[in-house]
Amino acid sequence: TDGLLSIDADSLVLTRMETVPEGVALTVLNLDNGAHELRIGAGRVTPVAAQRTNLAGAVIETLACDGSVRMPVAGRAWARLVVHI
């Protein structure tokens, strides 16, 4: 695979991707009324851990990570995912 990570944003809008000390942080927006799922998998690097954070970066929850990560995003909501690589 050619990318750093495999990103499947479903119908979410990826609004920001930034480097953080742990790896990368992705900010997405769900413009739809229903929930959608952000899925991150291995590319040139493999996710080893992940957390959902608020937009300021405070950890909300640690997500299961087995080389890939899934994060549901509620309708009409912003979400931020920090992926450790």
Measure the CA–CA gap between 39 and 63, rounded to whole angstroms: 12
pLDDT digits (tens, 9 = 90+) for 38-61: 999 999 999 999 999 999 999 999
pLDDT at 60: 98
**Cβ(14)–Cβ(28) under 8 Å?**
yes
* 35 to 3, 4, 74, 83: CA distances (angstroms): 26, 26, 4, 21
Query: Which position has the higher pLDDT, 2 or 20?
Result: 20
Confidence of residue 2 (pLDDT cuts 50, 70, 90): confident
Give this prediction's pTM. 0.95
